């Protein structure tokens, strides 16, 4: 009728409303598609949760297996035995030792914990990265650092640290091949 009546304005207006309706339809179809993808992902996650819930592993047994590595590595690096244990508190795990912790000892315990986790992860075939990253290791004891490097090389994981050259220059376990990047006043990161 619009063409028959030569109503160009009406035709253009109708065409404009049609384009807006088509855009809205496209948006709604995209929302439906995303909803379906999210529903499928939720279903998969719920299935995975059910499978994990069927795990008959004993947390005490897992902690005991982990402590085989943790006690050994903490003894080698800090000369003191540390243990991971289950708690009833808000956080389900704790770490204990015979004496209190200085800041340097805390760093060493964290390092021993990370090494132990890498060994535990490998022995239990748990997927994960074969590296860990630490900073401010200058406060660690030189023996702890050297033993950490030896252990990480033995278990085949990377121990990534940012450290002053003075701290590692006398550590026999660290070779030139172990150093991946050297920065200085003349060689700055991102040239900044």
Q: What is the DSSP string of 139-179?
A: GS-HHHHHHHHHHHHHHT-EEEE---HHHHTT-TT--GGG-
Please answer whether residues 31 and 23 qualify as being in contact, where contact means their C-beta atoms are separated by less than 8 angstroms.
no
pTM over 0.75: no
Domain layout of the chain by residue ranges: 1-56, 59-191
Give the per-residue pLDDT at 104: 54
Task: Kindly state the DSSP code that residue 186 receives in the 8-state scheme.
Answer: S
pLDDT in tens, 146-158: 888 889 888 988 8
The CATH code belonging to domain 59-191 is: 3.40.50.300
- Tell me which residues of the chain have a pLDDT lower than 50: none
pLDDT in tens, 1-22: 666 777 777 777 878 889 999 9
């Amino acid at each position: 009728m619009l063409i028959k009546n030569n109503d160009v304005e009406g035709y253009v207006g109708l065409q404009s409303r049609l384009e807006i309706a088509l855009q809205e339809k496209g948006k709604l179809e995209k929302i439906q598609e995303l909803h379906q993808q999210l529903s499928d992902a939720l279903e998969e996650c719920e299935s995975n949760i059910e499978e994990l819930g069927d795990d008959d592993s004993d947390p005490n047994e897992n902690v005991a297996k982990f402590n085989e590595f943790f006690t050994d590595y903490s003894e080698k690096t800090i000369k003191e035995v540390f243990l991971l244990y289950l708690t009833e508190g808000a956080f389900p795990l704790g770490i204990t030792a015979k004496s209190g912790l200085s800041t340097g000892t805390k760093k060493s315990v964290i390092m021993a914990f990370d090494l132990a986790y890498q060994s535990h992860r490998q022995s239990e075939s748990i997927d994960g990265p074969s590296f860990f990253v630490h900073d401010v290791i200058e406060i660690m004891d030189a023996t702890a650092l050297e033993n950490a490097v030896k252990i990480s090389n033995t278990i085949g994981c990377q121990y990534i640290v940012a450290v002053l050259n003075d701290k590692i220059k006398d550590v026999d376990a660290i070779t030139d091949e172990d150093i991946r990047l050297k920065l200085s006043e003349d060689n700055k990161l991102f040239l900044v």
